[in-house]
Amino acid sequence: MQNILVVQSSVLGDASASRGLVGHFLDAARPGASVTVRDLGADPLPHLSGATLGGFSGADSPEATAERALSDALIAELQAADVVVIGAPMYNFGITSNLKSWFDRVLRAGVTFHYTAEGPVGHLTGKRAIVVETRGGFYGEGGATALDAQEPHIRAMLNFIGITDIVFVRAERLAISPEARTESLAAAADELRKLGAEGLAQAA
């Protein structure tokens, strides 16, 4: 059975486009999968602090110990996953601060990557990531590619910890017009249902 970790980062709850789209993937994948949900919108992680970094380097104050345990738990969820599905709205050209706080706790030297003379080596190999990007405007085909600080950033962070099999599903133009929104969401939903069913076929 496939283990799927879902990381949601929209703050909009049921009104979130990315959350709805991730749901299409799960509807198709769920019969053959065990699903763990980390909902950063409903349950935000705090920003990185001195205590967090102390925890990473082995400090034993109560705050540092709690921070290390939180990072350990987030990393354990990721280690257990075959597929990680990330709901990633674009906020101000980048990712949400919620999602950044999650990445800040799972990119951990000596745990999920280490440095060598040849460069960094990621430890979380053999996993697939499916990243659902929702955007009011458009930055892909014919769009303002140079302003996109979301997709290259997510790719760099996942690659850094060894996740190189990444599928980006973009739902763009969501604020351009009602028609563009409907069309874009439908195309992304289709793509996600196909990706979900693909995993199911592989697991069979």
Question: Is residue 113 a contact residue for ligand FMN (CB under 6 A)?
Answer: no
Question: Is residue 52 a contact residue for ligand FMN (CB under 6 A)?
Answer: no
Q: Which of 59, 72, 93, 140 binds ligand FMN (CB under 6 A)?
A: 93
Our CB check for ligand FMN shows the closer of 112 and 134 to be 134
Question: Is residue 18 a contact residue for ligand FMN (CB under 6 A)?
Answer: yes
Question: Is residue 116 a contact residue for ligand FMN (CB under 6 A)?
Answer: no
Question: Is residue 112 a contact residue for ligand FMN (CB under 6 A)?
Answer: no
HSE, CB side, 13 Å, CA atoms: give it for residue 178. Answer: 0
Q: Which of 32, 120, 136, 162 binds ligand FMN (CB under 6 A)?
A: 136
173: phi then psi, degrees, rounded to nearest 5: 65, 25
Instruction: Report the alpha-carbon distance of residue 172 to residue 164 in Å, rounded.
Output: 23
- Of 139-178, binders to ligand FMN (CB under 6 A) are 174-175
Tokens standing for residue 109? 């030297």
Q: Which of 1, 14, 62, 92 binds ligand FMN (CB under 6 A)?
A: 92
Q: Which of 32, 137, 140, 162 binds ligand FMN (CB under 6 A)?
A: 137
Our CB check for ligand FMN shows the closer of 52 and 150 to be 150
Residue type, 143: G
89: phi then psi, degrees, rounded to nearest 5: -65, 150
Rg (CA), the chain: 17
Spatial neighbors of 169 by CB under 8 A, at least 6 apart, are: 21, 130, 131, 132, 133, 188, 191, 192, 195
Instruction: Report the alpha-carbon distance of residue 107 to residue 186 in Å, rounded.
Output: 33
Q: Which residue is nearest to ligand FMN (CB)?
A: 89
CB of 174 to ligand FMN, least distance (A): 5
* 87, β-bridge pairs: 8, 132
Question: Which residues are at the interface with ligand FMN (CB under 6 A)?
Answer: 10, 12, 16-19, 89-93, 134-137, 174-175
